[in-house]
Amino acid sequence: MDKSKNISIINVSKLDEAHRLSAAYLVMEALPAYYRIDGIDELEMATAVAGLIGESGSELEKGYAALCGDEVVGILTFLCSELLPPARLVGAQALFKRLSQDSAKQFRNHLRHYDAGFGIVPDGRIYLSRFAIDQYFRGSGLASQMMELFLSLEDASGVRRDKFSLHVDRQNERAIAFYRKHGFGIHYTGSRYLTMVRTQESRSIIV
Amino acid sequence: MNMNDRGYADLYEIILDVIEPRLSQAGFDRNTIKPETDLMDIIDSFGVFETLIQIEERAGVSADLAKMDFAKAMTLSGLAAEIMRINPRE
């Protein structure tokens, strides 16, 4: 069965409420160390995250979602790297305010000790903030389809379209290989994540 | 006491109170630190998150970053000014 047959990819801003909740679970999967917190119910966190998808100023404002029926089976969000510091803070504040009092307390405590381990993010790039594919659809070609869509972004924000950056878990060899296949090379090694960038040069090498 | 009872100077002092534990660690002194000092030279981004929550709790004002000009809000004096701007006196 062709898993990608009944999939449509839309802009995250077009997601309805139910699809946003479904997408939120994938967003959380993309960065579990940040979103999965002892003492906070998964549904409550997902509901809070869903509220940020497509929201102006957040890391989840722009991107694509792959839909298969009622489920979101792929999510890819991005922003200009210069906007990452404010977006991260705006997102953290928005999550804090959307959680119940007890959960907000847990979230606040979590962030006191949270070490993103991201290291540097080069300026002037389009930054891939979240990317996750439903387990069932991995290996179906959906990830490459969404990545190609991301890489074909128009130059709408003064960022050269051939300049992209992302972070990937140092232990995630499969993801690193995937990004290498799409022209990314390692730019910086952080404590937990690698910074990978895509340049015109790296694109020309991958033929 | 709410924002209507406070002025810029009060708010600036509250910001200094909140970040004081981090000042010496970052090589600053409360009595000599310049108002134009970049917050990110003192604390990391999640430290800013914690700082904003504490300002809201102590000063009874909104410190909603989504409503502020981020570039202006990232200095000590700029943060006080931006909080004043988004919490207008009645």
Domain ranges of chain A: 8-205
Q: What tokens appear for A112 in the block?
A: 């006191």
Question: C-alpha angle with apex A115: A91 to A135, nearest 5 degrees?
Answer: 70
In the structure encoding, which two tokens stand for residue B40, read together? 């990110």
Interval A123-132 mean pLDDT: 89
The set of residues, in sequence order, having a beta carbon less than 8 Å from that of A72 and lying 6+ positions away, is A15, A19, A22, A23, A26, A65, A66, A134
Nearest to A66 by CA among A128, A14, A126: A14
More confident residue, A144 or A204: A144
Average pLDDT, stretch A57-62? 92
User: For residues A93 and A87, what is the distance between their CA atoms, to the nearest angstrom?
Assistant: 10
Its pTM surpasses 0.90: no
Distance from A75 to chain B by nearest Cα, in Å?
Answer: 24
* Lowest mean pLDDT segment, chosen from A16-30, A67-81, A155-169: A155-169
For residue B12, name the pLDDT band (cuts at 50, 70, 90): very high
pLDDT of residue A205: 38
Report all structural domains of chain B as residue ranges with CATH numbers, in order of start.
3-86 (1.10.1200.10)
B38 touches chain A (CB under 8 A): no
Rg (CA), chain A: 17
Local structure of residue A124 (DSSP, 8 states): S
> Does residue A142 have a pLDDT over 80?
yes
Average model confidence (pLDDT) for chain A?
87
As a whole number of angstroms, the distance between CA B82 and CA B74 comes to 10
CB neighbours of A18 closer than 8 A, spacing ≥ 6? A70
pLDDT digits (tens, 9 = 90+) for B37-89: 999 899 888 889 999 999 999 999 999 999 999 999 999 999 999 999 999 87
What is the band of A81 on the pLDDT scale with cuts at 50, 70, 90?
Answer: confident
CB A192 within 8 A of CB A184: no
User: Which residues from A are below 8 Å from B70, CB to CB?
Assistant: 85-86, 89
Whether the Cβ atoms of residue B47 and residue B7 lie closer than 8 Å to each other: no
Pairwise CB contact (< 8 Å): B65 & A108: no
- Asked if A70 contacts A22 with a C-beta cutoff of 8 angstroms, the reply is yes
- Say whether pLDDT at B34 is over 90: yes
Give dist(CA A21, CA A134) in Å, integer: 14
pLDDT over 60 at A5, yes or no: yes
Shortest Cα distance, chain A CAs vs residue B37, angstroms: 17
Q: How confident is the model at residue A85 (pLDDT cuts 50, 70, 90)?
A: confident
Please tell me the distance in Å from B13's CA to the nearest CA on chain A.
23
Give the per-residue pLDDT at A117: 63
In chain A, alpha helices (H): 17-30, 32-35, 42-50, 84-98, 101-113, 142-151, 173-181, 200-205
Q: How far apart are CA B90 and CA A121, in angstroms?
A: 42
The residue among A153 and B82 whose pLDDT is bigger is: B82
Enter the CATH code of domain A8-205: 3.40.630.30
B48 close to A (CB below 8 A)? yes
pLDDT at B25 exceeding the cut of 70 = yes
